[in-house]
A = this chain, B = another copy of it.
């Protein structure tokens, strides 16, 4: 019963948050600031996001959502494109810091791990699919551990952006992609391989789709509470 939630709240809040983030950095992205700019009451904000960190996670999710990268036939080029946009997105100082804050907060708020995971997946999914296709096409060795390749590709980018403090250059990205592909048995630039085994270890079907950002909100409009993230035994 009762009055229904105003759907506009969330949108207005995130818009304002994005603007604050862009204008003044993640340090200025406070609940009070969003409330002040939007006229939304703090109470209302806290009804959606139980914690500032949860709000940040949602903002980060929106900020890092990738533009749909068109896939071509050139695997290396596609990967370079994906890493390039990731580097660019994370390269904005405010975004890297935003991500870092969520990471830091995830120590106190275990449910943020889910959000963080989703954050990673946002960028990961498309690339995973591209790699899987390459395996199916035979351009990558059958049996290639796609997740591991993903880690080798994405890891260095995060490392540089977050820890080292520089944004990977296009040249760096190129060298990185080449090195990783070489290790994964990708035949240089030639198009050999062709047939071969279609069977890779497709066992990572968390190929995105999700990237929903769920788990950030206190409860949803129509109420599926976010999955309990603590009780989930793995065999």
Q: Enumerate chain A interface residues (CB-CB to B < 8 A).
A: 5, 7, 10-11, 14-15, 18, 22, 25-27, 47-50, 54, 57-58, 61-63, 65-67, 69, 81, 84-85, 88-89, 93-94, 96-101, 103-108, 110-122, 124-125, 128, 143-149, 151-152, 154-160, 162-165, 170, 172, 175-176, 179-180, 182-184, 190, 194, 196-201, 203-218, 220-223, 225-230, 232-235
Collect the chain B residues with CB atoms within 8 Å of residue A162's CB: 100, 103, 158, 162
Take A194-B143, A230-B110, A234-B81 as given contacts and tell me if A115 and B209 are in contact as well, using a CB distance cutoff of 8 Å. no
Interface SS of A by simple majority: helix
**Beyond A58-B217, A85-B235, A117-B164, 18 additional pairs, beta carbon < 8 A:** A18-B229, A26-B104, A58-B213, A58-B226, A97-B106, A97-B107, A112-B216, A115-B215, A116-B164, A120-B164, A121-B208, A121-B210, A152-B156, A162-B162, A180-B183, A205-B207, A206-B210, A222-B233
Chain B residues in 8 Å Cβ range of A58: 213, 216-217, 226
**Contact status of A101 and B99, CB under 8 A, knowing A63-B230, A234-B85:** no
The 10 A-B pairs of least Cβ separation, nearest first, read: A206-B208, A183-B183, A155-B155, A114-B213, A118-B213, A97-B107, A155-B156, A114-B215, A151-B156, A100-B103
